[in-house]
Amino acid sequence: MEELLRQLTTLVQGLVDDMSVLKQDMQTVKQKLGQLEQRMDKLEQRMDKQEEELRWLKEQMKENTEMIKAIRDNQLEQRSIQDGMRHEIASLRGEMAGIREQMATKDQLSRLREQMATKEDISLIHQRLDYQLGRIAKVEEEMYLLKKVD
């Protein structure tokens, strides 16, 4: 009987040891599960941040697309304005050629002075010349700016 009791005790002791090992294994599994939960939380946080960044990027891309469309529209409008300016410059060049043909030379001015040499007339001619030269300079400046833009 004692032998049987000893065997039972040994068996119970083995079961107790096995239970201890199982408890330790369970603790290890619980710890690993806790670590996995922490890692999952961190991953979820990262995903949330990435989703927020993606929302921001989409919004930024939408704004950029709208700006590009506005720039394109503005560019088309500017081209139209430039075409109008080219036509105006061509017209002004024609006017300038006509003005140059009508401008008097020094000899002609001398003859004119002899014929109608009044200070008022000379002053008026100088004013008209200054005005026309100002227009020429303005047109040449516009031509320069148009060339610079192209």
Q: Which residue blocks in the chain are alpha helix, DSSP H?
A: 2-102, 106-116, 119-149
Domain ranges of the chain: 42-149
pLDDT in tens, the chain (150 residues): 888 888 888 988 988 888 999 999 999 999 999 999 999 999 999 999 999 999 999 999 999 999 999 999 999 999 999 999 999 999 988 888 877 777 767 777 677 667 765 778 778 888 988 899 999 989 898 888 888 876
Instruction: Give the CA distances from residue 132 to residues 34, 83, 92, in Å, rounded to whole numbers and listed in that order.
Output: 90, 24, 11
Question: pTM of the predicted model, to two decimals?
Answer: 0.40
